[in-house]
Amino acid sequence: MPIESSQQGIDSQLEVLMHGSEFGDDQLKRAMGERLRKRLEQAAEKQRPLRVYTGYDPSAPDLHLGHSITLRKLRQFQDLGHDVTVVVGTMTATIGDTSDRASGRPRKTPTETTAAAQSYGEQCFTILDREKTHVVANGDWLSGLTLTDALELASNFTVQQFLARDNYRLRIDRSEPIGLHEFFYALLQGFDAVHLEADVQLGATEQLFNILAGAKLQEAFGQPPCVALTFPILVGTNGVERMSKSRGNYVGLTEAPNEQFGKIMSVSDETMIQWLGLVTNWPHDDVVAFRYQVERGELHPMVAKKQLAHHLVSLYHGVRAADEAQAAFENTHQRGLVPDDVVQTSITFPLGLVDALVAIGAANSKSAARRLLSGGAVMVNDVKVDADDAVINSPSLIKVGPRRFFRIVGS
């Protein structure tokens, strides 16, 4: 589609594209807004779409609602006629980004990152237009850099610039080691922007340093610096830490409808309020009105959460799946009914409950099974069991957490 060239059209694009961005600094936000305006004007003059991208390191196999914030913003650029790329960080993931951490991150092997990356392209199409999206792996160009190239990249930065970052200062204050390889993360992510000749890069707020590093490298390579657009970090289902697959507090974009619905219903009222403007496609005025109704007590939080859960499941699976997921939730949790699709497994009695939880797939290890028991997450035939020496002697219905049911029968 042609790029909108009227001033009114550019103003409208700018309002849409800057909406929701967060920098922690009003002056920086204004500067990025002006930089984006100039890029939009240049794109309109040349009738060339902006080159816009974001990147995700495949440290785990699932994209989740936290990723949807930048994916939805990419879709807005896409719908306005701009060129969109998703970079899968097959090389950067082998270093590990510590921007959001006050400790080191375990390094992934190339084999691990390749395996996790395989599904990223398909998952991003839950939001992006498949026909208009480029999905690329940064290992394709970063693996070809020579030592001379790496030294040239590093020469554009000082050690002081890195050590000024909060996460590094905290680790120094605690006398914790900082790996020299960690500094290379920002350099390599920055080179992505150079390779792609990016006009705009999107990321979460803790990515601002890395994105600005990319803009600095672009200038060193004779390119105009990209626009940095950063967005709030989504708190996970536990309402405390950021949403993360490794922390288990996530809602996956391709998870089953019932699982998505149940996880969303489990979040606190405060978390629900925070999510409203970040992961829905509701207009801003509707989000404000919805939040106002909840806070004034005009809309019960349980009803509000159902509306949010239904909306999100509809986005990723369709309205019919959302209707069925809501019905399943209400039958299971509000009417005390057991769902029809209970997993059934045959075992030989007697069997220790810890071993049984592993056998039925409720836990991936005995230690994980013991954590479920000690956390009060396991019920056997409607009775909570927390003893890790409990034994299953007969056919039983096991409930793990608020949503997972397993039926054990004799073999």
Q: What pLDDT does residue 331 have? A: 79
Q: What pLDDT does residue 404 have? A: 81
Q: What pLDDT does residue 349 have? A: 82
Q: What pLDDT does residue 192 have? A: 96
CA 75, CA 82: separation in Å to the nearest integer?
Answer: 9
CA 81, CA 249: separation in Å to the nearest integer?
Answer: 35
The CATH number of the domain covering residues in 343-410: 3.10.290.10
User: What are 181's two structure tokens?
Assistant: 């390889």
Q: What pLDDT does residue 228 have? A: 96
Cis before 350 (ω within 30): yes
Q: What pLDDT does residue 340 have? A: 63
CB–CB of 135/191 below 8 Å? no
Helix, coil or strand: residue 181: helix
Asked if 7-231 and 257-334 have one fold, the answer is no
Could you report how far apart the first and last alpha carbons of the chain are, in Å? 62
Q: What pLDDT does residue 253 have? A: 92
Q: What pLDDT does residue 134 have? A: 94
pLDDT block averages, 10 residues each, the chain of length 411 = 69 91 92 95 91 88 89 95 93 74 58 71 90 93 94 92 84 85 90 97 93 95 96 88 80 89 88 92 90 90 92 95 89 64 79 90 88 84 81 83 80 67
Q: What pLDDT does residue 119 have? A: 78
| Second CATH level (architecture) for the domain 257-334 | Orthogonal Bundle (1.10)
| Second CATH level (architecture) for the domain 7-231 | 3-Layer(aba) Sandwich (3.40)
Q: What pLDDT does residue 306 have? A: 92
C-alpha radius of gyration, the chain, whole number: 24
Residue spans per domain, the chain: 7-231, 257-334, 343-410
Q: What pLDDT does residue 69 have? A: 95
CB–CB of 49/237 below 8 Å? no
